[in-house]
Amino acid sequence: MPLLSDIAGYWLNGTMRTFEAFGQGFGSPATDPPALTPYDVIYEGGKVSLRHYAAPVRQHATPLLIVYALVKRPYILDLQPGKSVVQSLLAQGYEVYLIDWLPPNRHDTKLGFDGYVNEEIANAVRAVQIAEHVEQVDLLGYCFGALLALLYAALHPANVKNLVTLTIPFDMSVRELPIYNLVDAMSDVTVDLITRIYGNCPAWMVNANFLSMAPIHHALDKYVGLYRNSERDGYAAMFELFERWMMSDVPLAGQTFRELVTQLFKRNALVRGEFKIGGETIDLRRITCPLLNVVAAQDDVVHPASSLGLPEFVGSVDKRNLTFPTGHLGAVVSAGAMTKLWPEVGNWLAARETPAN
């Protein structure tokens, strides 16, 4: 029975990969695969390693800063030729900068949203402003990174020319995805215990949360999928790379984890206008720059209903939702996203851009 033995072999490999990830502490910059697109690190400080990808032919004056999520490593945005958001944007003439978050260690347990937004992103934006001799940057945030970019834009609106939020977890009262009911059941005492015992929310816990979103897929179906697609060119290589990324979780800084669960997730403080950063209440109406809110219609990590309401809350006149028929990861790796979504995002930015001299 080659079918069963093959699937069993794939499953065994997957299990070994999980054990290895446990052994080495999941994701770290050291375990990243070789970079697909060459880049220079132009600034490194605090928890930020700021990458610069130079456009082969620059067509736009304003640089684009990608704020990646705090969970998992950022190489998903530059995975393979033809499956790279970075390469798509470079080909459209954008000068791309990317925040590669350095994983928090035991000294970073007090690092909360204030530190990430008002210090880390603020420093990265300043570095781009200095490197490019510009006053404003375009911000593009992915998932949790979109939330951070939104908060930065609300607190420092003068520095942001255009804002693109991709699959943003905004309205946390949405409970369309059943897994969220389990997170709801996590009491404040539990959150407190996690940060007291571990300091930060450990990477294995973040990983377990992702795996439990689709347990059947991760336990069985993805291996069966690999068997069914084993004849397809490049599928196995892509699968390996993707699985490696799935195990690249990094810890979430203790204070950030606490604020995320207790304030944002359970109390929906941002939407209710009660979320404070560094003592300042976030007022999303302060965002007046153009906003493109990209929503993945089949998103099973951040439900579309959680993202769709964002434009109503910002003060911008030029704002819109762009719903694309794909999943949470499909938005950054699928062939459809590369041929349709990213050119559309590029065109939206270009229409609000100054051509480069």
Encoded tokens for 7: 């699937």
Question: How far from chain centre, in Å, is Cα 27?
Answer: 15
Least distance from other proteins to the Cβ atom of residue 187, Å: 6
Residue 214 CA to its chain's centroid (Å)? 19
Residue closer to other proteins (CB basis): 214 or 356 = 214
List, in sequence order, every beta strand (DSSP E) within 19-127: 40-45, 48-53, 64-67, 78-80, 83-84, 96-101
Figure out which of the listed residues 217, 218, 286, 352 binds other proteins, where binding follows CB under 8 A. Answer: 217
CB distance 60 to 89 below 8 Å: no
User: Does the footprint of other proteins cover residue 298 (CB under 8 A)?
Assistant: no
Query: Which part of the chain contacts other proteins (CB under 8 A), choosing from 28-36, 47-55, 118-126, 185-193?
Result: 185-193
Q: Give me the residue label for tokens 């990830």.
A: 21
Residue 229 beta carbon to other proteins: minimum distance, rounded to whole angstroms: 12
Active site residue 299: yes
Measure the CA–CA gap between 22 and 26, rounded to whole angstroms.
6
Q: How far is the CB of 93 from other proteins (least distance, A)?
A: 42
Write out 110-166 in H/E/C secondary structure. Answer: CCCHHHHHHHHHHHHHHHHHHHHCCCCEEEEEECHHHHHHHHHHHHCHHHEEEEEEE
Residue 143 a catalytic site member: yes
**Of the listed 52, 78, 138, 143, which one is catalytic?**
143
Instruction: Give whichever of 61 and 177 is closer to other proteins, judged by the CB atom.
Output: 177
Alpha carbons within 13 A on the beta-carbon side of 350:
14
Which C-beta is closer to other proteins: that of 101 or that of 265? 265
Q: Given candidates 20, 184, 274, 318, which one binds other proteins under the rule CB under 8 A?
A: 184
Strand pairing partners for 38? Answer: none
Q: Alpha-carbon dihedral of residues 256, 262, 267, 269, nearest 10 degrees?
A: -30
211 near other proteins (CB under 8 A): no
- By CB under 8 A, name the one of 91, 186, 305, 350 that touches other proteins: 186
**CA diameter of the chain:** 64
Least distance (Å) between residue 269 CB and other proteins: 20
Report 149-178 residues binding other proteins (CB under 8 A).
178
Q: Which of 269, 326, 106 is nearest to 197 (CA)?
A: 106
* Total of residues contacting other proteins (CB under 8 A): 22
Query: Is residue 4 part of the contact set for other proteins (CB under 8 A)?
Result: no
Q: Is there binding between residue 230 and other proteins (CB under 8 A)?
A: no
Residue pair 72/122 in contact (Cβ under 8 Å)? The answer is no
Q: Which of 78, 138, 171, 299 is catalytic?
A: 299
Residue 197 interacts with other proteins (CB under 8 A): yes or no: yes
**135: contact with other proteins by CB under 8 A:** no
Which residue in 56, 216, 312, 317 binds other proteins (CB under 8 A)?
A: 216
Residue ranges that bind other proteins, judged by CB under 8 A = 178-179, 181-182, 184-187, 189-190, 193-194, 196-197, 214-217, 220-221, 224, 228
Tell me the catalytic residues. Answer: 143, 299, 328
